[in-house]
């Protein structure tokens, strides 16, 4: 208990945990796991649930919880001390999990359980856990010849280290670049809150003028609003070439990508698969790489005419109204914002003033409470930063779960938005262990004592991450390996998150979650109507962009041969020629910052966003149908059904079965195309 990472009695002890606690705690837990495995694999240990599976789950949870805290702090507080502590133990943790997955004695015991008399009598959920474990053992190299296992283990360790390094390089390269504006004229077009944040950033360094960075809350508004074309060009070039050969050699992700691809290809061949995409799809809903390619290309074919129309309109507007004969990549967001304002007579900045943070959270909580019959309330817990807040979820006065909310961008926090688990729901001898989640975003922080205001895109992002959080927090499964998001097919994980985004477009939701930052006035219906009219503005281009990423990822891991002289940049060019309508400059180095597939869990799985979007749009259509009777999409009866059939069951049954239980049929793409304005 002297080491806070070894205290599993409650919430993580962020007030006392220090980098020096990491190595002793993790080494102790790995040692305990190894000792337990030795006991469990002895012939005298019965191959039963209680004697074998339950102790393994308990020991595994302690290690994953402790290491989860370390990994979380590496993501949200990436100071040198935590980076060093994380990287020092990463090889040992990766090595342990690699050897665990190859432990033939464990595999044999599991096969004995699966073939034994107890298996048919186990609850369905427990049989699913055994089946998943058998599959994961095979994917972890358990059936490899003994002489190949050390190489397989080394690959896992190397891939973990390369992923961490990829992420760190990207963060360092992002933080290294700044644009300094010294005169007011250079700020033309920029919103007041963006200028205030840039001024505060300069003051923090005791410098005059305004400092703009490549962090999203600074970068995106510059690209969208700055009249200074040369500023946009410099920012775009810096952003598009992060962690590539143009910067510090030690931050160049190019060789890391080549190493990662080679190692993944080698791993696949060791396991007997033709390529890494085949390995990636084994635990997913989709069956084969060609099936995914057909899915993406079919969607691209439907979206491309709309995208081409979007691009033609933008080029004509830029030429006729903005005097731009050549529309460059650094002009796209700016020209698009101008076109949007001209066509719909409003700007994202105007909308942003109606979304102060307190009102947004109140509105979000109202949606969750109305749909799922729960209550959200502030709670207290030690956190890793003063800006972090903590909440609890109650149903009928009983604790259901808790979550941390870390909303603002910081230099020591990795970019993007994500949900992660701190504690997972399960049944213990003492009762139910309630789940705890981390919800992380990178929104602009409050400036000059005023509440932060969020763009409508920020609001959508927040709802998205809360969808992941609800999947984790509202589960009713009591077995840890399939509780919450555990055991859910990766291409179905985005279903609840993308489903939640739909509510951000509903009047009866927005009317209750807006108040102008100055006047307090709620969002005017006329402005809402303009937002709806503009909802599918450039939706064809946006859909093709996601398909481009997904197809590049799929082909990179299925048809590309690393080390054979071909270039992954050439593959990306080929994909763009096939599906894209926007072709960036030759020097754009997007893959070097594509952390989803090189430092996250989306390798050969980025298509999951679109795959799950078909599911989520179709699921939301049930609420649209209910609203014809109840007059609100916040229909409690449909919400309870969604919770019962999708959220509550977690990974305890196949995602397709859960979808069909909710919808009464197989998923269809019609609702997605309709929601994106892509119907005739």
Instruction: Just list the catalytic residues.
Output: 465
Three-class SS of residue 391? strand
Q: Give the Cα separation of 69 and 12 in Å (integer).
A: 7
The span from the CA of 559 to the CA of 578, in Å, is: 15
Q: Do 251 and 173 form a contact (C-beta atoms < 8 A)?
A: yes
Cβ–Cβ under 8 Å, residues 500 and 467: yes
The torsion region of residue 397 among left (phi > 0), alpha (psi -120 to 50) and beta comes to left
Q: How far apart are CA 293 and CA 301, in angstroms?
A: 12
Measured torsion, CA atoms of residues 553, 557, 561, 566, in degrees rounded to the nearest 10:
10
Provide the terminal-to-terminal Cα distance of the chain, rounded to the nearest Å: 64
Distance CA 476, CA 650 (A): 8
State the Cα–Cα distance between residues 39 and 100, nearest whole angstrom: 14
**Full DSSP string of 172-222:** HHHHH-EEEE-SGGGGTT--HHHHHHHHHHHHHTT-SSEEEESSHHHHHHH
Residue 365 CA to residue 662 CA, distance in Å, equals 23
Q: Which residue has the tokens 């937002």?
A: 531
CA-CA distance, 74 to 69, in Å (whole number)? Answer: 9
Contact of 453 with 351, CB cutoff 8 Å: no
> Could you give the dihedral angle defined by the CA atoms of residues 437, 415, 161 and 145, in that order, rounded to the nearest 10 degrees?
60
Asked if 173 contacts 149 with a C-beta cutoff of 8 angstroms, the reply is no
C-beta neighbour count of 66 within 10 angstroms: 26
């Amino acid at each position: 208990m002297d080491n806070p990472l070894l205290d599993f009695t409650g919430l993580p002890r962020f007030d006392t945990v220090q980098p020096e606690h990491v190595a002793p705690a993790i080494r102790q837990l790995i040692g305990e796991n190894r000792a337990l495995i030795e006991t469990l694999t002895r012939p005298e240990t019965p191959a039963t649930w209680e004697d074998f599976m339950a102790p393994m789950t308990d020991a595994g949870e302690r290690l994953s919880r402790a290491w989860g805290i370390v990994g979380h702090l590496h993501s949200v507080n990436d100071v040198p001390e935590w980076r060093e502590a994380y990287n020092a133990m990463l090889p040992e943790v990766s090595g342990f999990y690699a050897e665990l997955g190859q432990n033939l004695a464990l595999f044999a015991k599991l096969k004995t359980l699966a073939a034994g008399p107890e298996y048919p009598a186990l609850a369905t959920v427990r049989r699913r856990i055994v089946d998943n474990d058998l599959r994961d053992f095979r994917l972890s190299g358990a059936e490899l010849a003994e002489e190949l296992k050390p190489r397989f283990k080394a690959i896992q360790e190397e891939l973990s280290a390369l992923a961490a390094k990829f992420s760190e390089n990207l963060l360092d390269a992002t933080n290294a670049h700044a644009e300094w504006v010294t005169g007011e004229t250079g700020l033309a077009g920029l919103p007041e809150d963006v200028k205030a944040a840039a001024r505060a950033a300069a003051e923090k360094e005791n410098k005059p003028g305004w400092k703009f960075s490549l962090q999203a809350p600074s970068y995106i508004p510059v690209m969208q609003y700055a009249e200074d074309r040369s500023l946009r060009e410099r920012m775009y070039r810096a952003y598009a070439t992060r962690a590539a050969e143009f910067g510090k050699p030690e931050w160049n992700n190019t060789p890391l990508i080549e190493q990662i691809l080679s190692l993944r290809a080698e791993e696949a061949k060791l396991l007997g698969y033709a390529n890494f995409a085949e390995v990636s799809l084994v635990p997913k809903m989709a069956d084969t790489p060609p099936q995914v390619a057909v899915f993406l290309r079919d969607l691209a074919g439907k979206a491309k005419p709309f995208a081409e129309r979007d691009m033609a309109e933008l080029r004509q507007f830029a030429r006729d109204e903005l005097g731009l004969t050549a529309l460059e990549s650094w002009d796209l967001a700016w020209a698009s914002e101008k076109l949007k304002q001209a066509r719909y007579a409003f700007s994202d900045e105007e909308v942003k003033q109606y979304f102060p943070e307190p009102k947004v959270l109140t509105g979000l909580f109202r949606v969750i409470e109305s749909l799922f019959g729960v209550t959200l309330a502030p709670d207290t817990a030690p956190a890793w930063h003063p800006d972090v807040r903590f909440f609890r979820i109650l149903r009928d006065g009983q604790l259901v779960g808790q979550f941390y909310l870390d909303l603002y961008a910081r230099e020591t926090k990795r970019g993007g938005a994500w949900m992660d688990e701190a504690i997972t729901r399960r049944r213990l001898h003492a009762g139910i262990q309630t789940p705890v989640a981390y919800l992380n975003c990178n929104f602009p922080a409050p400036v000059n004592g005023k509440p932060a205001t969020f763009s409508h895109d920020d609001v959508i992002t927040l709802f998205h991450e809360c969808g992941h959080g609800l999947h984790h927090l509202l589960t009713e499964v009591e077995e840890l390996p399939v509780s919450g998001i555990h055991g859910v097919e990766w291409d179905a994980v985005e279903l609840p998150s993308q489903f939640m985004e739909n509510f951000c477009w509903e009047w009866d939701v927005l009317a209750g979650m807006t108040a102008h930052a100055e006047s307090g006035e709620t969002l005017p219906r006329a402005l809402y109507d303009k937002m709806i009219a503009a909802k599918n503005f450039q939706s064809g281009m946006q859909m093709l962009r996601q398909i481009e990423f997904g197809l590049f990822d799929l082909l990179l891991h299925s048809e590309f041969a690393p080390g054979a002289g071909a270039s992954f940049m050439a593959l990306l060019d080929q994909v763009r020629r096939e599906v894209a309508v926007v072709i960036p400059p030759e020097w754009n180095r997007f893959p070097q910052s594509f952390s989803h597939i090189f430092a996250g869990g989306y390798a050969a799985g980025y298509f999951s966003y679109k795959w799950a979007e078909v599911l989520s749009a179709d699921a939301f259509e049930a609420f649209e149908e209910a609203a014809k009777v109840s007059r609100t999409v916040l229909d409690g009866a449909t919400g309870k059904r969604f919770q019962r059939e999708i959220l509550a069951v977690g990974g305890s049954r196949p995602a397709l079965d859960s979808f069909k239980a909710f919808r009464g049929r197989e998923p269809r793409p019609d609702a997605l195309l309709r929601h994106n304005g892509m119907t005739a």
